Structure 1
Amino acid sequence: MREAMFYDKLEGNRVRCRLCRFHCLIGPGQRGHCRVRENRGGVLLSLVYGRAIAEHVDPIEKKPLFHVLPGSRSYSIATVGCNFRCLHCQNYTISQPEEGSVEFSGNLVQPETVIQRALAQGCRSISYTYTEPTIFFEYAYETAKLAKAAGLKNVFVTNGYITNEALAVIAPYLDAANIDLKGFTESFYREVVGASLAEVLDCIREYKRLGIWLELTTLVIPHRNDSLEELRNIAEFIAGELGPGTPWHVTQFYPTYRLQEEGRTPLATLRAARQIGLEAGLRYVYEGNVPGEGGESSYCPSCQELLVKRNGYLIEKNLLDHGRCAHCGFAVDGLWE
C-alpha cells in the first residue's frame, strides 16, 4: 500500500480526495467511489500500488492511437478499480471488483520491473489502460517518470475525469491520451456512466491546454448516443475546441455487462458518424471494431492519398515519410519518429 497523493485531512479523521472530479468525502474505514482508496485513521491509502491485474504487449493501435508511432508496441498495465460505473464496460471483471478483494488483487510488479519488461519486449511506450489509470495514479506516476528517463513514451487510456491539479503533476511525463467521450448529453452520462459530461469536457480541454497529444473515442450505442444530432455535437466540439487535427474514433458497440438489450451498432451508423466528423472539419475520423471494412485507414487531408492502410490492429502499408504525406508533403498531425 502507498499513501495517496491529492487529499486533505479533515476533522473527525475524515479526508477529502482531490484526485478525480468526484472529490469524495471519505470517513474512517471507508473507501472512495473508485473502491481502491481507503481512509485508515485519517490517512488516505492507495490499495493497488504496484498490484498489476493485467500486463500485456499491445499494438499501439489497440488503445486506439493511430497517430502515435504507428506499428509500435506498447507495454500495457492496469490495476483493479474504476471511478465510473459504465453499464457496458467490457472490462467489468477488473474495473468493478468486490471491495474485499482489492488489496489482494493482481501481482506485485514494481515500476522498475514494468520498465525492464517493456524494454525487453521492444516496446516504445507504456500504456496505462484496461481500467481507469487515474485511480492508480501513484503507480502510474512513478512508472511514467522511469519510462520517460528510459526513452519510452507514456499513454493514458482514460475516461477523462482526473482533476486539473493531478493532471498537471503527471503531464510532464505524459505524451498522449485516448479519452473516451462517451456521449454528449448529461442524461447519458448520468444514466449509463454515472458521471458528468461537463466535467469530462473540462478535463479534455485541460489535456489539450497542457499540450498532451489527444485522440478521442466514442462507442456508438444504438438508441443511447447514436442520434445524428448528438454525433454532430461531438464532432463540432472536437473540431472547434481541440482542433481539426484531433483524430476521432467512432466504434461499434456490442452487448456486454449490464447493457445487453441493444444489438451491435450498424455499420451504416458508423459511416454516418464518420461523414459527420469530416463535414465538421475533422481531418481524421476512424471506424473502430469493424476490421476490414475500410474505415480504419488514414488518408492525407490535403491530397486524399493513402497514408496508412490498416486491417484491425495490423498495419499493411505505412506510406508516411517522417510524419509527412509522401505524395504532397502535407505535415500529418501526430507523434511520429
Structure 2
Amino acid sequence: MICQTCFRHCQLEEGQIGFCRARKNQSGQIVCCNYGYLTAMAIDPIEKKPLAMFHPGSTILSIGSYGCNLDCPFCQNYTISRQDNAAQATFVLPEQILQIAKNHKEDRMIGVAYTYNEMLCSWEYIRDCAKLIHEAGMLNVLVTNGTASQMVLDAILPYMDAINIDLKSFDAKTYDSILHGNLEQTMAFIERAVQSCHIEITTLVVPGMNDRESEIDAMTQWIASLNPDIPYHLTRYFPRYHMDTPATNISTLYRLKDIAKTHLHHVFLGNV
C-alpha cells in the first residue's frame, strides 16, 4: 500500500510503519497508528506557536503526539518528533480534548493548537478534534512543516483558523539533502493555505545552512508575492539533536530581519 499523506508516498508492506512512525499498513489499509496518543499537552500563550497577529494575548490548548515525516538534524523538539514515544503516550479522545478546552475558557482560552510534533502525520485526529472545536465556537491552530498532500489539505483546511508553517529554506538542495524534505510541496501548501485562513511563516535560522542574505531575500520576496502582510518569524537556532553548530548569532538575525522587511510588513524575531 502507498501512503498518500505526504511527499514520501511510503510503500508499506502489511504491518510496516512509514518513515514518520505514525502511519501503518494494517489489513490492507493505511491507518494512523498514533491516533489519539498524545505525548504533550499544555496551555500556551498564542504567541508561543508562534502567532504574532492572531488573537494576541490569548491562550490556547496545545497538544502533540509523536512522529514526523522529516528528519532535520537540528530538530529543536526531537524528543517528541523523532523518537518513538508510543509507550509514553496517553490516549485522549477528541471529545476529551473538547472538554479540556471548554474547562479552561476562563483562562482566555480560544481553542486548540495541533503542534509539538508533525501532527499532520495523524491528520484524521486533527480533523475529528477540529470539527468538535468549531462546533463549540472555538478556534483551531496548526503548526506544521507544510509537506502534506492536497488530500490532507482538503480534509483539514475547512476547520483551520490559523496555521504557522515552517519554511525551513528556500533552496531545493537543502530540503533534499539536509532536511530530507520537499520544498516544492511546502510552497504549494503555503499557496493553498493562504487562501483559506490566517497564516504566519517561520524560518529557523541555522548557521551555514539557510542564513545567507540572498536566500532570505529571495524567500521573503516570494512570500510577499502571495501577500506582503503575511507575518514572518525569524527564529534563533540552538544546538540540538544531531547538530552541534553554535547558536545563531543575534546580529545575524537582526541583519536578516532588515532584509525581510524590504519585502514584508510584519517581521518578528524569536528566541533572542
Q: Same fold (TM over 0.5)?
A: yes
Q: How many angstroms apart in 1 are the aligned matches of 2:21 and 2:258?
A: 40
For residue 246 of structure 1, what is the aligned residue in structure 2? 230
**3-state DSSP class of the match of 1:75?**
strand
Q: How many residues align?
A: 269
Question: Partner of 2:269 in structure 1?
Answer: 287
- Provide the residue aligned with 2:96 in structure 1: 113
User: What's the CA shift for 1:132?
Assistant: 0.5
Q: Is the 8 A contact 1:141 1:170 kept in 2?
A: yes
* Counterpart Cα distance in 2 of 1:44 and 1:160: 20
2:260 aligned residue (260, 274, 277): 277
- Aligned counterpart, 2:197: 212
Is the contact made by 2:16 and 2:24 (CA closer than 8 Å) also made in structure 1?
Answer: yes
SS in 1 for 2:31: strand
Name the structure 2 match of 1:183: 169
The higher radius of gyration belongs to 1
The answer to whether the 8 A contact 2:7-2:182 is kept is no
Q: Is the 8 A contact 1:80 1:105 kept in 2?
A: no
TM-score of the superposition, structure 1-length normalised? 0.78
| 1:235 alignment counterpart | 220
Rounded to whole Å, the distance in 1 between the matches of 2:46 and 2:227 is 22
Contact 2:144 2:165 in 1 (8 A): yes
Q: Which residue of 2 aligns with 1:225?
A: 210
Asked if the contact 1:51–1:105 (Cα under 8 Å) also holds between the matched residues in 2, the reply is no
Q: Which runs of 5+ in 2 are unaligned?
A: none
| Distance (whole Å) between structure 2 residues aligned to residue 200 and residue 171 of structure 1 | 15
Q: Work out the percentage of aligned pairs sharing the same amino acid.
A: 38
How do residues 141-160 of structure 1 correspond to structure 2 at under 5 angstroms? 141-160=127-146
What is the aligned partner in structure 1 of residue 248 from structure 2? 265
How far residue 44 of structure 1 moved from its aligned partner, in angstroms, is 2.0
CA distance in 2, matches of 1:213, 1:30: 37
User: Secondary structure at the residue paired with 1:26?
Assistant: coil
Aligned to 1:125: 111
Give 1:175 deviation, angstroms.
0.6
1: distance between equivalents of 2:88 and 2:172?
33
Looking at structure 2, the residues matched to 276 and 59 of structure 1 have their Cα atoms a distance apart, in angstroms, of 28
Tell me if the contact between 1:50 and 1:108 (Cα under 8 Å) persists in the aligned partners: yes
Q: TM-score, normalised by structure 2?
A: 0.96
In the other structure, the counterpart of 2:69 is 83
For 2:19, the equivalent position in structure 1 comes to 33
Instruction: Give 1:105 shift.
Output: 4.0
Q: What amino acid is the match of 2:232?
A: W
Matched to 2:96, the amino acid is: T
Task: Note the C-alpha offset of 1:128.
Answer: 0.2
Residue 43 of structure 1 deviates from its aligned partner by: 2.2
Q: Distance in 2 between matches of 1:216 and 1:190?
A: 20
Aligned alpha-carbon RMSD (Å) = 1.2
Q: Which runs of 5+ in 1 are unaligned?
A: 1-14, 291-337
Give the C-alpha shift of residue 49 in structure 1: 1.0
120, 125, 138: which is aligned to 1:134? Answer: 120
Q: What does 1:34-53 align with in structure 2 at a 5 Å threshold?
A: 34-53=20-39
SS at match of 2:52: coil
- Report the residue type matching 1:68 in the other structure: F
Q: Deviations over 1:293-318 (max 9, x none)?
A: xxxxxxxxxxxxxxxxxxxxxxxxxx
Q: Give 2:57's aligned residue.
A: 71
Aligned-residue offset at 1:204: 1.1
- Is the 2:73–2:179 contact (alpha carbons within 8 Å) kept by the matching residues of 1? yes
Post-superposition CA distance 1:187-230 (Å, at most 9, x none): 21123211111121111111123x22110000111111101001
SS at match of 1:157: strand
